Amino acid sequence: MRPLGCLMLFFGWLILLSPTSLCGNPQETNGINHSDSVLQLPLVLAENHTNLINSRLRFEAATLSALQKLPGSKKDWLHYRTELKKEIIKRTGIVFDPNLPLDLKETGSVQMQGYTIRNIYFQTHLGIYATANLYVPDGEGKFPGVIVMMGHSQTGRLDDRYQSLGHTLALNGYVALCIDPWGSGERTTTHGVFEDHGDENNLGSSVLNIGETLMGIEISDNIRGVDLLFSLSFVDAQKIGATGSSGGGNQTMWLAAMDERVKAAVPVVSAGTFESYIMGSPCICEVLSGGLTFTEESGILALIAPRALKMINHNKDSNQAFYPAEMIRSYNNAKPIFGLYGSVNNIGYQLFDLTHGYMVEDRETMLGWFDLHLKSKGDGSPKKEIPFELLTREKLMVFSKAERDPKVLTTVEYCKFKGNELKINLLNSKSINIESKKQELKAILGIRTKPQIRAIHEYNNQNGWKMIALESSDNKLIPILLRLPANNMKDFVVFCDPRGKSGVNPVLIDQIIKSGKGIVLVDLSGIGETAPTTSKADKNGNLRTISRSLFWFGKTLIGEWTSELGLVCGFLSSNFQADRISIDGNKEAGLAALFLGIYEKQVDQVVLRNAPVSYLFDTLESIDFYSMGIHIPGILKWGDISLASAISGKTIIFIGSMTMSGHRLNEIRVADYRKEFEMLRSIGNKSGKTIFLSNDEDYKY
């Protein structure tokens, strides 16, 4: 029976923790004190090799993209579209709830010449509200309605580029709903302090750990926006349009594909191909997990048929995902589906010699398209824009600064709330089906097959190191440095670090050499010698770009690293008869080592340095301590790191335990987690133990 005291202690720190009261200051604990006794580590691969991971992932994307052929008959297409929509809902978590009250609230308005701007907020998910502006033409209507979705502006709908759409639509007789994307505008962590909702940091990616997606949350919000337009007496519900640029254009495409109430759509600087996202730099809100395994962007565009779709792209766009050539590929593949309906004239595109953005030329093209398809006026040609006045942010804001209704929930609050619910469910478990949990974990890690070693490439020894590259059946090269154990010992220690081999503390290498154990230093995918030479980098190198690319294949970076460590351990067992293997991993690499320990018998012990002890959301402060590669879709629905430790049956050692934001845990928090880990081991009836140590000096090999 579970001790009540354990649960009470857990609840004490679980509810919206304050990092300043329970955790130490955020800190990087990866400083290296170089040891003179360790010679400089040699390179395994040729120093000036090509971009290995870029080439491999782009080739995989090209292969999958070529396989996503759309059906050629209407009968086959109708079946395909039904199954495609089901899969999209499953992958994104889109919620349709027309019975949920909108509970529309207005906090103010601004009278303009010919129209009124209403500052509103309304319920998009149960108990969760979105901020918006409603631009309403003077007169009784009924008017066509257009939902406007914002691109990646921290100020959301308050940005000049996006309020311009509201003004110009209202002046031309449309009701425009401009809604803040989740995490932008007035939906940021601190009201009035604007932030990026997911492009440049881990914030938007954190919803993955609670089993949701930023893409799905936004689509659900925008479907509710259509519900709102439908509810207004002065809107013609049969004449609804959708538009937006960049991330907002991406949402335009998804909304129109999934909600057939949208009769005309104009996505701007956003249409391309899924293939072109790979090793590019899309926001996490533009990533469809596993998307390339079952469709291409042309399939999403085809879902809009036979309704009206006009794509606008710019020749000077710097984002490879939105290059005009990529859009035209998808246009050519989707157009035949419009032909099956006899509506080939309802799909079109326009190119402008402009940089990224929603410009006046785009707005005029949009107005002409909507006039044709929502008003039955004109021939679809661009319509001259009427001059308008831009307003200050303050006039458009729903709330005075720092006076936001708490129902406008933020990403931070939502992740904490949902994560806490899931953790309580885990701790209330009466039993654990270990084999079932193992299979579920493989699925969310994206591990579908077990790769094999295809070839072993060994080079001349240097500075006492064997230089070896393992070539795998899934087309990877894994560079390792190896020192064999002394006196016929069969013990090995494998080191992995997100900074690559050179990131391993030389003091630790000295310890292993002096102990007589064998030692392996490995560069996992995307780090060290396998790091890409090009792509958008962040403070964690290129792992953000790589992680987001892997999601398109239904994979995760942690899952890839887990498989690669498995190959290294298999190599040691088969080639050097390794008896006991310890894996020592820093930061998120330690989690890959932990997950491998669940499946591989030869792994005797796992050491995690500076790793999180839970996937529970911590704080926005220092949220990028770990790379985006740490996120695993649905990990908290599956369980948590404590469950992984419990079902491993191994000795698991945490050194310098952290939160998900890289805050060092104090002794009280560590004590609570120690009880949680022990409780789950007892429920699972597994052997082994979990040890928590404060720093490196507390553990010696």
Provide the CATH number for the domain around residue 554: 3.40.50.1820
433-457 average pLDDT score: 96
| Reported confidence tier of residue 540, pLDDT bands at 50, 70, 90 | low
389 and 454 within one domain? no
Q: Which of 388, 419, 450 is the last residue before a domain boundary? A: 419
pLDDT reading at 606 higher than 70: yes
Q: Which of 359, 393, 419 is the last residue before a domain boundary? A: 419
What is the structure's pLDDT at 264?
98
437 and 300 within one domain? no
Percent of the chain whose predicted confidence (pLDDT) is above 90: 86
402 and 380 within one domain? yes
Residue 221 lies in a domain: yes
506 and 367 within one domain? no
Residue 40 lies in a domain: no
465 and 317 within one domain? no
Mean pLDDT of the chain: 92
Residue 594 identity (one-letter amino acid): L
Spatial distance between the Cα atoms of 621 and 166, rounded to a whole number of angstroms: 34
Among 190, 177, 191, which residue's Cα sits nearest to residue 222? 177
Residue 15 lies in a domain: no
Residue 175 lies in a domain: yes
Number of residues in the chain: 701
Three-class SS state of 120: strand
Q: Residue 500 sits in which domain range?
A: 430-695
538 and 614 within one domain? yes
Burial code (b: 16+ CB inside 10 Å, e: under 16) for 530-551 equals bbbeebeebebbbbbbbbbbbb
70-79, 179-188, 540-549 — which is least confidently predicted? 540-549
Spatial distance between the Cα atoms of 395 and 400, rounded to a whole number of angstroms: 10
What is the structure's pLDDT at 39?
58
Percent of the chain whose predicted confidence (pLDDT) is above 70: 93
Residue 559 lies in a domain: yes
Q: Taking the chain, what is the end-to-end CA distance rounded to the nearest angstrom?
A: 37
Global confidence as pTM:
0.92
pLDDT in tens, 615-653: 999 999 999 999 999 999 999 999 999 999 999 999 999
Residue 383 lies in a domain: yes
Q: Which of 395, 419, 443 is the last residue before a domain boundary? A: 419
pLDDT in tens, 367-386: 999 999 999 999 999 999 99
Query: Residue with structure tokens 């639509």?
Result: 169
What percentage of the chain's residues is helix, strand, coil (to nearest 5)?
Answer: 40, 20, 40
533 and 403 within one domain? no
Q: Any alpha helices (H) in 614-666, and if so which ranges? A: 635-638, 641-648
